[in-house]
Structure 1
């Protein structure tokens, strides 16, 4: 096993031009990364999004058209989706689109897409466009996109031990005991093991019990993070994969392994476009918060769109109104998906744990860009043990009741890039059922609003170019995050887009439609409010 010490030498001129220091532009305008003494760097996030980033979303031909009808429209829409699902896919895996003409559609159940290559498209996300209204009182997702499973290890293969003593954050190459049976193009799970000693070192086996419900506070147990990757090169016993790992693999805490995998259970090339989702609710159910009554019914559709066990898919130009939990949720088995140019408005639920998470990410290598949210608790949020990279880019949230954040239990490798919202990366200790260190190796780049940022043990948090207020964490003292250029934005304006340009060129930015910031940035976005007492889950 090998270990190493890393360092970077910068000239005074380079340091004066690059206040961020953790990453800087060289004389040719390319990003350069400054490692810490163990070699950890800010990761390259540019592989996040549809088809691995930098690829234009496809325009898919309409194969079936549906008009608004009388009564419940669920069966008619589902029949159209099922009809397209039976068509042969073209050379890029697309079958066709179901077009829902403008008007109101009443949905008593859920619309389900479980085949690859199917697009559900409306004629506008406004009130005069295509409006799907969830009727009834059942809590459910209005539109469900789902394969049967995410990536799984191949039962016929055996794990290979990673022989590097330490594989740093941001690395894409590592050594294994044997590459027998592996080849370029194979999909693999790169496992980071977190053993009992690791849990003890970061003190997550000694979480202070929740005062009101001490028995509900759960201490952490050993866990693994399985990074879903593709082998791009093999030289001797060294393997290079397509995207960096966003948590260090350390033999001291259990080391790591590599095993061949399959994602045959995933569906792909599914699109949801140009729709408005709404839900019926009981306007007579109210609660009082901060001295003011608010609508609090929860017996209605809780989610607009969910993506589970799906890759290389997209949601664009949608508006979600009145839902209790998600506008769009990207589940744990989801990879290489994009959500963009969408809105979440006027959420209806009690202001408490598990509710109002409109743009939620549980998978890896996903991109949420140019979206807008109102009345959320955790507007842009990542769940437990999420494996990055994942990116929130050019997003805005107002009328917040809590912070955007990695929410609990060691989510790794997220980027908040030009996000206007209250953001927290911190030790949440007994919040929920023992959330503890919620995020590790997160980057906040040119963000704005209130920020809480702490450095977890064995990992980093980078806050660069933040403009706004800096607040203490819910539990102090904790080591502070790395802050640079606080109060002034830095160049490049977007880390993700510059990383994408460095990797694929300007054509990738054109494909993303990301030359300028979205028009949702307005005066109200500067009035960021945060009122969470931290007692939620």
Structure 2
């Protein structure tokens, strides 16, 4: 006999489960996360915020509905909402990383008398050897290269992984040390990254017709309405293409900085189709606003089915330290470029004194966990300033968590570049020094800074007064962070949110309209972490 719980009891039980799961985020430190800071130096933000009430009951931007155990999102007057960020990281849900069987074990060459290969040659040879092995369909991996404890001399070498299914793992970030001197190309300018993970054979082809979007799509929406949904079905990989027309750029007052036209796009999967209403529902919300007022029949936004071949996936780097032993010219000598690959990770890695953008990610569904980037050499005080960690277009569904950036006081720490479209999440990580955490340059969307800590730094979603810069972000969120300075503006016909943060001051934003800034205590009390709350809710529904 099977007992079936009555519907009303099931609803109550779901509510209890939801409340318990979401309350787990309360373990995140919420007050004075820097013990060395003088007590009282930081205060909650209480200056100029937007707050809404209905019959005396606060309406939060994101809250838990006790009746349905679902998260509820309050729209702006234009209909935009904070997007759901839960689909980031490995496999699109920050999935547990698999155990990968070791196929090759390497020891430092100076400890091996029976080899005539250098450490760098041995590592690249092992990568090539693994690339020829078959993939295990249960894990997506061919095997792992185990670097033993000890010092590996890889000066003058750089490593390329352009095949799926390879893990490079050390003993730990304190026991396996790679001494690097990233080489400069013959032209004296280009510098290879120590590690490059790439998809050199990737092709993306449109399949079928371009279906025009015929109804404005608010940011945070999970569907689009088309002139025809014919030909789309659940599981299809699609691209949403949004032309940033001259009319839209003029509305944003960015003509002098952005020119007359740009275009951006995102990849999604079709979750279901309503053929009668020509509505296509998506697995992940849209991170920007597709406003038909600024489009035309000759420049429409559209949905199109795509097929991708040759994209590398399932690559991991973990458990080692890499040290750049030679100071290169400013901007050169990077540690890692993760190109257009997917379902990969970097875990428990330390990188010391690499130049330029120390690490750049343009892939999809990537987890970066326990990363420690250290600069002992100050960055440039004038001229171009580089990032410690940057997400660049078309990078999306990137999760950076539990990481630390040290040094580089004039650098940008956790950053996105032009038109990087989310969801992208920086979670529970720290930067020391006075660096900025910010989107940079041209209008990235769908970024979440959640439970981040910057004692002397700045979190900035602003209008940068430089050519090719302008409004750096739209539809992005700073949630429960600790920072010295907070700068959050509201671009025209867009939104940015800052909720529950501990700050010393609001930065100078000139005549810009402030974003939706709410002080600690106004945010829903269950949601100390927006990302963890959304992740818990996604598991239950």
Task: Provide TM-score, normalisation by structure 1.
Answer: 0.81
1:53-106: CA deviation from partner (whole Å, max 9, x where unpaired): 141111111001111114842221001011111111112321100111111222
Aligned ranges 1:62-101 → 2 under 5 Å: 62-70=102-110, 72-92=118-138, 93-101=140-148
**CA shift at 1:266, angstroms?**
1.4
Counterpart CA distance in 1 for 2:182 and 2:468 is: 36
Aligned partner of 1:140 in structure 2 is: 192
Aligned partner of 2:14 in structure 1 is: none
Q: Which has the larger Rg?
A: 2
**CA shift at 1:27, angstroms?**
2.2
Q: Secondary structure at the match of 1:366?
A: strand
Aligned partner of 2:219 in structure 1 is: 169
Q: Secondary structure at the match of 1:337?
A: strand
Q: Secondary structure at the match of 1:358?
A: strand
My pick for the range that moved more, 182-191 or 219-228, is 219-228
**CA shift at 1:23, angstroms?**
1.5
Aligned partner of 1:518 in structure 2 is: none
1:261-297: CA deviation from partner (whole Å, max 9, x where unpaired): 1231310010001011111224xxxxxxxxxxxxxx5
User: How many residues matched?
Assistant: 461
Counterpart CA distance in 1 for 2:197 and 2:306 is: 22
Q: Secondary structure at the match of 2:465?
A: coil
Counterpart CA distance in 2 for 1:247 and 1:63 is: 44
Counterpart CA distance in 2 for 1:262 and 1:481 is: 38
**CA shift at 1:32, angstroms?**
0.9
Aligned partner of 2:539 in structure 1 is: 504
Counterpart CA distance in 1 for 2:540 and 2:107 is: 43
For the structure 1 residues 151 and 394, does the alpha-carbon distance in structure 2 shift closer, same or farther, using more than 3 Å as the test?
Answer: farther
**CA shift at 1:494, angstroms?**
0.9
Counterpart CA distance in 1 for 2:332 and 2:293 is: 46
My pick for the range that moved more, 50-59 or 311-320, is 50-59
Aligned partner of 2:270 in structure 1 is: 231
Aligned partner of 2:89 in structure 1 is: 49
Return 5+ residue gaps in structure 2 as ranges.
1-50, 111-116, 186-190
1:341 maps onto 2:364 in alignment: no
For the structure 1 residues 355 and 206, does the alpha-carbon distance in structure 2 shift closer, same or farther, using more than 3 Å as the test?
Answer: closer
Aligned partner of 2:113 in structure 1 is: none
Q: Secondary structure at the match of 1:379?
A: strand
Q: Secondary structure at the match of 2:463?
A: coil
1:131 maps onto 2:178 in alignment: yes
Aligned ranges 1:447-462 → 2 under 5 Å: 447-449=481-483, 450-462=485-497
**CA shift at 1:48, angstroms?**
1.0
Return 5+ residue gaps in structure 1 as ranges.
1-7, 208-218, 283-296, 507-537
**CA shift at 1:151, angstroms?**
6.9
Residues 54 and 504, structure 1, Cα contact 8 Å, conserved in 2 = no
1:362-415: CA deviation from partner (whole Å, max 9, x where unpaired): 101111011100123111000001111100000100113x31101011111100
Counterpart CA distance in 1 for 2:527 and 2:261 is: 39
Residues 102 and 124, structure 1, Cα contact 8 Å, conserved in 2 = yes
For the structure 1 residues 59 and 179, does the alpha-carbon distance in structure 2 shift closer, same or farther, using more than 3 Å as the test?
Answer: same
Counterpart CA distance in 1 for 2:239 and 2:168 is: 32
1:448-476: CA deviation from partner (whole Å, max 9, x where unpaired): 11211111111101000010123333x51
**CA shift at 1:179, angstroms?**
2.3
Q: Secondary structure at the match of 2:532?
A: helix
Q: Secondary structure at the match of 1:452?
A: strand
For the structure 1 residues 183 and 354, does the alpha-carbon distance in structure 2 shift closer, same or farther, using more than 3 Å as the test?
Answer: farther
Aligned ranges 1:44-443 → 2 under 5 Å: 44-70=84-110, 72-92=118-138, 93-107=140-154, 108-126=156-174, 128-134=175-181, 139-148=191-200, 152-154=204-206, 156-164=207-215, 166-207=216-257, 219-236=258-275, 237-254=278-295, 255-282=300-327, 297-298=328-329, 302-331=333-362, 334-348=363-377, 349-362=379-392, 363-376=395-408, 377-400=411-434, 402-421=435-454, 422-430=458-466, 433-443=467-477
Residues 467 and 487, structure 1, Cα contact 8 Å, conserved in 2 = no
Query: Larger RCO: Structure 1 or Structure 2 (Cα < 8 Å, ≥ 6 residues apart)?
Result: 2
**CA shift at 1:30, angstroms?**
3.6
Residues 265 and 309, structure 1, Cα contact 8 Å, conserved in 2 = no
Counterpart CA distance in 1 for 2:126 and 2:132 is: 10
Counterpart CA distance in 2 for 1:470 and 1:275 is: 38
Q: Secondary structure at the match of 2:365?
A: coil
**CA shift at 1:347, angstroms?**
4.8
Residues 147 and 169, structure 2, Cα contact 8 Å, conserved in 1 = yes
For the structure 1 residues 150 and 452, does the alpha-carbon distance in structure 2 shift closer, same or farther, using more than 3 Å as the test?
Answer: farther
**CA shift at 1:225, angstroms?**
1.6
Counterpart CA distance in 2 for 1:271 and 1:46 is: 21
Counterpart CA distance in 2 for 1:31 and 1:37 is: 19
Counterpart CA distance in 2 for 1:206 and 1:378 is: 25
For the structure 1 residues 436 and 241, does the alpha-carbon distance in structure 2 shift closer, same or farther, using more than 3 Å as the test?
Answer: same
RMSD: 2.3
